[in-house]
Structure 1
């Protein structure tokens, strides 16, 4: 759920309790709301900072108030430490993509000659989902 006022929506949907887990790929101004949306003993999983507003900071007293955790989920660091993990995951994921069970969200498609524009669009955060560059038509 990514909407303005999502914290209030979560509180309403959970009867004021909050949720057990928030996966935050946005960061920025929404980080504190994500933290406040947690139920006691909840966990905030920080995956990225797509908002492009810098890296949020945690006031640790917020963690103590409800015994909540903030955990960094660094995919690259984890994969580097687990030598065979990536290959195992891809061998499971590729058949699911080929069969249509998993459909990666494609936000933009570019011709090869527009590759430079694709990089600019990603750098300026104008794309959502995956960006695809067609090598041939």
Structure 2
């Protein structure tokens, strides 16, 4: 399964609207929203760390049903990690859009770079 779109495309469109001058906000509001995004990214990264063992399933007998259960739980663990990746990417994209809407372009570019790095990090 690839990383699902849980707002990444909306964040990209919002960023484009900010860059084109269609979306504006004050610098104070943008920085508050960016700080909220940073806190969310920290929580998502902690959830990913806490969930690292979800793809290492063991304890089922070495029978067809045990192997099927192991594979099923492993797949669900990977799916959960992919959802966390999607949330992180979407949050960083929105952060970049908020900062761009306040014409804080250096900060917006840094946030956009972080979003791209997060996307590249999970690309198979």
Greater relative contact order structure (CA < 8 Å, 6+ sep): 2
Greater strand proportion: 1
TM-score range, shorter chain: under 0.3
User: TM-score with structure 1 length normalisation?
Assistant: 0.22
